Amino acid sequence: MSDGTMSNGTINPVVPEGVTLPIYMDNHATSPMDPRVLEAMLPYFGAKFGNAASRNHSFGWEAEQAVEQAREQIARLIGATAKEIIFTSGATESNNLAIKGIAEMYRERGNHIITQVTEHKAVLDTCKRLEKYGYRVTYLPVKADGLIDLDDLRRAIDDKTILVTIMSANNEIGVLQPVAEIGRICHEKGVIFHTDAVQAVGKVPVDVQAMNIDVLSLTAHKIYGPKGVGALYVRRRNPRVQIAAQIDGGGHERGMRSGTLNVPGIVGLGKACEIAMQEMATEAERLRAMRDHLRARMEAELDYVEVNGSWEHRLPGNLNMSFIYVEGESLLMGINDVAVSSGSACTSATLEPSYVLKALGLGDDVAHSSIRFGLGRFNTMAECDYVADKVIGIVKKLRELSPLYEMVKEGIDLSKIEWAAH
């Protein structure tokens, strides 16, 4: 492992014992299922196939009981009560239901919604659609560290504001917004507070009471559960929040979300929450140690690397780094046995720099040279060493070929150069 191979810039470091390639280090995109979650789900694909809405026989009761247990498990993790949990197909739906459902329900009271620029597209695009229907949306900026300014929020709230929707943790840079402070401000002003807590739930403590959260989105597949199942927490007391259904039908989920429940998925989500509740504290420490090690290794060997987003207010498993003077696509291709995400988003044919990184003030080239390392439950320290070796090797190699890097090393100020048009 750290046998010196990295210092001469090899791009094929030794694979440590116990490490198999490819390495998955993209846990913000999705996480592998925990085997304990799969085990809990299996009976509900087989003998326990009942419809949780069937009231007349034991097949239905058995399914309903499993669903109610999951509701409890989820509620416990976020300090809610079981009745406040609504099941959905995932956080994209939860965000849509929360924002559109509140916008519709409170239209008489006002038409103003506040969000911020680094939200997930499931929030931003939902807000954009509401603008077409006559809602007014304020998109708060973020500071260079990725956090919103609470004074901006206070100033943005007016007598037509019905909803503030600000994420708990960002999926690219792992930055934790000051949710408790946001909740306090919203409650003082009598405005509903929704948070997309997909990346935070199960990773850092989330308590809807202590943090004055009224509505909260979460999803199973980011916490070692199955894809295609999520939940929306909807506060029932102080204040009681009402949400207009966006899917009509049989009146399931207290009328807020019709449709036959995905019982195996819901059981998996519940189990995932139960495990997170028990293991979050120790897991967070382990992830933080691995993440810090990964950062330290790369910073010891490479110059012109920068961490994106606040280091202090951050998910334990997130490291987002720019490798300046390196071409992003070549970097990613060079580490093709490691699954990570880049600071580029594929939109149709072109490679766009991440809007999240741009919101922090990064230039396009720096954004493209960025990598998100998303550490999770099944990563190991040995994997981190391999990934560090690999990245160090390829960055050194690419910089050997980079005229920009050469010029910087020679002390030339790139900002003073007049480039020929091309």
Ligand X SMILES: *Cc1c(COP(=O)(O)O)cnc(C)c1O
Residue 9: what are its φ and ψ, rounded to 5°? 75, 30
Q: Report the candidate in 306, 301, 303, 287 with the shortest Cα–Cα distance to residue 384.
A: 287
Q: Which of 127, 186, 273, 346 is catalytic?
A: 346
Active site residue 273: no
Dihedral over Cα of 255, 258, 264, 270: its sign:
negative
Asked if 199 interacts with ligand X (CB under 6 A), we say yes
Query: CA-CA-CA-CA torsion for 127, 133, 134, 137, nearest 10 degrees?
Result: 0
* Residue 200: CB minimum distance to ligand X, A: 9
Which of 31, 96, 161, 171 is the binder for ligand X (CB under 6 A)? 171
Asked if 372 interacts with ligand X (CB under 6 A), we say no
**Region near ligand X per CB under 6 A, out of 194-202, 264-272, 330-338, 387-395:** 194-202
Token digits of residue 198: 């997909």
Asked if 331 interacts with ligand X (CB under 6 A), we say no
Asked if 257 interacts with ligand X (CB under 6 A), we say no
- Whether residue 351 contacts residue 330, with contact meaning beta carbons closer than 8 Å, is answered with no
Q: Which is nearer to ligand X, 120 or 390 (CB)?
A: 120
Q: Which is nearer to ligand X, 92 or 165 (CB)?
A: 92
Q: Using CB atoms, what's the residue nearest to ligand X?
A: 90
What proportions of the chain, in percent to the nearest 5, are helix, strand and coil?
Answer: 40, 15, 40
* Residue 179: CB minimum distance to ligand X, A: 13
Which of 198, 211, 216, 338 is the binder for ligand X (CB under 6 A)? 198
Of 121-140, binders to ligand X (CB under 6 A) are 122
Which of 101, 178, 230, 334 is the binder for ligand X (CB under 6 A)? 230
Q: Which is nearer to ligand X, 111 or 195 (CB)?
A: 195
Asked if 161 interacts with ligand X (CB under 6 A), we say no
Which of 40, 52, 164, 167 is the binder for ligand X (CB under 6 A)? 167
Q: Which is nearer to ligand X, 13 or 376 (CB)?
A: 376
Asked if 320 interacts with ligand X (CB under 6 A), we say no
Query: Which residue stretches of 106-229 are H helix?
Result: 121-132, 150-156, 179-189
Q: Which is nearer to ligand X, 91 or 276 (CB)?
A: 91
Instruction: Please give the Cα distance from 387 to 380 (Å, whole number).
Output: 11
Which of 196, 214, 385, 389 is the binder for ligand X (CB under 6 A)? 196
Asked if 146 interacts with ligand X (CB under 6 A), we say no
- For residue 209, CA distances in Å to 79, 197, 213, 233, 371 come to 6, 14, 7, 12, 35
Token digits of residue 228: 């295609």
Instruction: Please give the Cα distance from 124 to 153 (Å, whole number).
Output: 17
* Residue 95: CB minimum distance to ligand X, A: 6
* Residue 169: CB minimum distance to ligand X, A: 7
SS3 169: strand
Other CB atoms within 10 A of residue 246 CB: 17
Which of 44, 73, 86, 90 is the binder for ligand X (CB under 6 A)? 90
* Residue 328: CB minimum distance to ligand X, A: 21
Other CB atoms within 10 A of residue 303 CB: 12
Residue 165: what are its φ and ψ, rounded to 5°? -125, 110
Asked if 219 interacts with ligand X (CB under 6 A), we say yes
In a 10 Å sphere around its CB, with 0-12 CB exposed, 13-18 middle and 19+ buried, how is residue 134 labelled? exposed
Asked if 202 interacts with ligand X (CB under 6 A), we say no
* Residue 349: CB minimum distance to ligand X, A: 24
Asked if 91 interacts with ligand X (CB under 6 A), we say yes
Asked if 262 interacts with ligand X (CB under 6 A), we say no
- For residue 360, CA distances in Å to 143, 147, 326 come to 6, 9, 19
Q: Site for ligand X (CB under 6 A): how many residues?
A: 13
Instruction: Please give the Cα distance from 404 to 394 (Å, whole number).
Output: 16
Which of 112, 194, 222, 372 is the binder for ligand X (CB under 6 A)? 222
DSSP structure class, residue 14 = P
Asked if 376 interacts with ligand X (CB under 6 A), we say no
Q: Which is nearer to ligand X, 98 or 208 (CB)?
A: 98
Asked if 120 interacts with ligand X (CB under 6 A), we say yes
Strand spans (E) along 209-342: 215-219, 230-234, 305-307, 318-323, 338-339, 341-342
Contact residues for ligand X, defined by CB under 6 A: 90-92, 120, 122, 167, 171, 196, 198-199, 219, 222, 230
Annotated catalytic sites, by residue?
346
